[in-house]
Amino acid sequence: MTLCGNCVFGVLLCLCFGVLSMFTSVHGSFHVSGSVSLSLTGKWSLCNDNGSVCLPAEVPGCVHSALQRQGFIQDPYFRFNDVSYSWISFDNWTYTTTFTVSTQLRTKQKVLLVFDGVDTVASVWLNGVVIGKTDNMFRRYDFSVRDSLQDGSNVLKVSFMSPVVYASERRKAHSAYRVPPECPPDVQKGECHVNFIRKEQSSFSWDWGPSFPTMGLWKGVRLEAFDVLQLTHVSSVPLHDSSLSQWRVQVELLVDAVQTTNGQITLSIPELDSEQSFYTQFLPGQTKNSFTLHLNTSNQVKLWWPNGHGDQPFYQLTVRGLQDGFMILNTTSKVYFRTVELVQEPIVGSPGLSFYFRINGKPIFLKGSNWIPAHSFQDQVTPAVLRNLLQSAVDASMNALRVWGGGVYEQDLFYSICDEMGIMIWQDFMFACAMYPTEDDFIQTVNEEVVQQVQRLKSHPSIIIWSGNNENEAALATDWFNIPVSQRPIYLKDYVTLYVNNIRRIVQQEDHSRPFLISSPTNGAESEQESWVAANPYDPHYGDTHFYSYTLDCWDWRTFPRTRFASEYGFQSWPSFSTLQPVSIKEDWSYNSNFSSHRQHHQDGNEQMLQQAALHFLLPNSTDPLKRFTDTLYVTQVMQAECVKAQTEFYRRSQSEIVEGKGHTMGALYWQLNDIWQAPSWSSIEFGGKWKMLHYFAQNFFSAVLPVGFKDDDTLFIYAVSDLSYNLTLRAVVSVYSWSDLDPVCTLKSDLLLVRGGSAATVFKQPVAALLAGCGHCTHLTCLLTFHLEDSTGAQQGPTNHHFLCSPKDTQGLQRPNITAKVQQDQTGYSVTLHSASVAPFVWLDVGNIPGRFSSNGFLMVSRNRTVSFTAWRPTSVVELSRSLTVTSLRDVY
């Protein structure tokens, strides 16, 4: 949690601590005077409705966190506690604090009680009087309290209504027609009617997460007092005029003024030798005041680039206020310069429209994943958790994440880190997989939510697009909710009312610097032509697509849609045993246990994982129950890693070609990056930060230069994929190995070919039969291929990849490798040297609950020796690592 919700985008002077001087009028003259602020975060008391449970509680925080911290409940994530503790969300809870205020604060002309985040439905009482109500988790609320404050002690109470009961009551009041879905599927063990409350939609359960409908003051609370004027927020959005090749910075000051106030505002970016002053008048009440700084054109502006395409430089913008020569306002914030365009235009040889992003005029292939809330209890998402997850994204060569629309608008720090790291953000608004009501009060609170969030976030260069919702166009178009044809116009009207007439309108008023899409998936411009809901939002000729198939063979690239942009796709796996162990007991450690079933919130998910794995792998058959369980966890991770690798490589090699009218794929964001708890899911990073095999694979399949191999009609093709901004001359080097021998049977090299930057090109093509015929006694069953790219100097470019000519379960000659491992330490850190007696696929190193990551993992070992490094995230030792280390390969599980 950031301490001050208003200190956005590097503003150095945080108003919540009262250090910013403000315009003040005394007898018609102006001089320097400070606003006064009192933080109300820290220890409060918390009681349930009938007073039977009372305890101390931290603010920011939530009821569940407080109950756990005080020992009233166990870890809510332990075993079946998500169901056992459902009573918490059905009760009403009241937070109370007592505070005293100084005479200086009380005598100010205006005193505001500010809540940066209230989750969710509450009445606010000050000294026994209701001063306001809240109904939206995603809004900042302020209430005028000058006349309600008293000498001595003041008692502030925030009384929360059960979000589950509230949602149900709102549903009952909406009697004219249903607003589906009524309830989540039974397998999710969740609560109903979450679409009737402006709250994290996944808090009532999702197919990867538990039902914990939280209540609490989840962000900061404070008093702010001033005589004339208060600065609420500063935003700065650089805009580029391409016709003049000139930059300008649009600066907005959100101001709350007691009375009309005159002053001079000066904007400057000293490093760019740019400064402008404006005489202005702030009107009474809360107003938005816009100023434009035109940059001195003689200076070359350094641009912000996505990860892998350049650096992320920034400039300091200073905003100063002067009155009669007095400095009365002085704030500094970061400004990053970049342009973004979403290009939707005709493609030669293909019906439909392109769909790709140009950053600073350069087409960029988006590589990354989808972000979900990192914890059910937002107060437990620490800066360290955010930085670790986002660093892990960058370390896997990602340049983009989609902040998914069923969670929360992330905290300021999340976006600031993305700015620093060059992670582009596709930002959904918080509406997902549902229809929504459109009563006036619902629309009104949503409008305020959208205004506030766009104002809060638009200064961040990392955000490259706003999107109105997750999958709601698709839900309507493909009739997820069995809506009768006669009623369909009602829902279409509601859809347009919410997302077009309100959200889109507001976003386009508030932010001129980035594109807006109504939904994801969508046909984009084509959906707009079809009155905002396309006949088929999954059409691969337009927009973005979401695609899931658990029964088709994921090794067969023909099963994947050759889409313009893949914004969701994926496969489930189980997390490591070390991640599950703290929230389970011995009787849970079997794939068929009640616990394993309870943790799976996707219908038939556990069976689907094994069915997909069984297409290519022999399933674990150990007679030791624990080994069989851990081996099964491993096999699900192997399956997931290979499936997502196959699909991602298909999308990356499709960026430069049109096949049967489809292609020019320019984005691959798999579902999903992170986990909300310890359970099976589509994530590549486990709860707690441990990398699954998939995340190690992503390091390779998202690398800037990548060889991709596949078979088509028994011909082997190898593509060179390059994200670089310059051309390379490359050849493919193919090594053929026997499953039974660590020495290559033969090696082939293709001719050198020009591979343009930002493209995918064929560099090798040969019938597999001919390739094998020239390689001793190899067959599809006895041999496998590895391949890499090298340039004209013989230097390898990008990672080494592999292609299995048959399913590993059908191989002939695959033996137990009997891998030995030695852990060592030197000045650079820890390393593990492996020795293998034979070819070993999917070699997996695991050090249990020692947090950290290996330089490489899950790899194919075709050498006798290999050394990998280990980066520990806490102090450890050679002895501890050696004791904890296990090494598993595919042949070790059956």
Residues in the chain: 894
What CA–CA distance (Å, rounded) separates 604 from 369?
Answer: 24
Tell which phi-psi region holds residue 773, choosing left (phi > 0), alpha (psi between -120 and 50) or beta.
alpha
- Of 471, 473, 510, 790, catalytic: 471
What CA–CA distance (Å, rounded) separates 407 from 311?
Answer: 30
Find residue 669's DSSP bridge partners: 368
Is 271 a residue of the active site?
Answer: no
Token pair for residue 351? 């019906």
| Residue 286 phi, psi (nearest 5) | -90, 120
What CA–CA distance (Å, rounded) separates 158 from 595?
Answer: 37
Q: What share of the chain is helix, strand, coil (3-state, %, to 5)?
A: 25, 35, 40
How many other CB atoms are found less than 10 A from the CB of residue 782? 21
What CA–CA distance (Å, rounded) separates 179 from 176?
Answer: 10
- 3-state SS class at 201: helix
How many Å separate Cα 127 from the centre of its chain?
Answer: 41
What CA–CA distance (Å, rounded) separates 445 from 442?
Answer: 5
What CA–CA distance (Å, rounded) separates 476 from 469?
Answer: 12
- 3-state SS class at 200: coil
Token pair for residue 734? 């193919």
Q: Are 29 and 324 in contact (CB under 8 A)?
A: yes
- Of 191, 200, 568, 790, catalytic: 568
Token pair for residue 520? 């994801």
Token pair for residue 701? 């399949």
What CA–CA distance (Å, rounded) separates 41 from 565?
Answer: 44
Pairing of strands 36-39, 852-854: unpaired
Q: What counts of helices (H) and strands (E) characterise the chain?
A: 19, 49
How far CA 330 is from CA of 21, 23, 334, in Å, comes to 8, 11, 14
How far CA 593 is from CA of 222, 618, 635, 678, in Å, comes to 48, 21, 18, 15
What CA–CA distance (Å, rounded) separates 44 from 613?
Answer: 51
Please give the torsion angle defined by the CA atoms of residues 379, 382, 385 and 390, in that order, rounded to the nearest 10 degrees: 100
Q: Are 231 and 254 in contact (CB under 8 A)?
A: yes
What CA–CA distance (Å, rounded) separates 719 from 710?
Answer: 9
Is 345 a residue of the active site?
Answer: no
Pairing of strands 246-257, 229-241: antiparallel
Maximum CA extent, the chain: 99
Residues 6+ apart with CB under 8 A from 607: none
Please give the torsion angle defined by the CA atoms of residues 180, 184, 185 and 186, in that order, rounded to the nearest 10 degrees: -130
How many other CB atoms are found less than 10 A from the CB of residue 134? 21
Q: Are 391 and 421 in contact (CB under 8 A)?
A: yes
Q: Say whether the peptide bond before residue 213 is cis (omega within 30 degrees of 0).
A: no
Burial status of residue 573 (CB atoms within 10 A of its CB: 0-12, 13-18, 19 or more): buried
| Residue 170 phi, psi (nearest 5) | -65, -40
How far CA 536 is from CA of 354, 547, 744, in Å, comes to 16, 13, 49
Q: Say whether the peptide bond before residue 672 is cis (omega within 30 degrees of 0).
A: yes
* Count of alpha carbons within 13 angstroms of residue 713, beta-carbon side: 1
| Residue 802 phi, psi (nearest 5) | -135, 160
Provide the annotated active-site residues: 471, 568
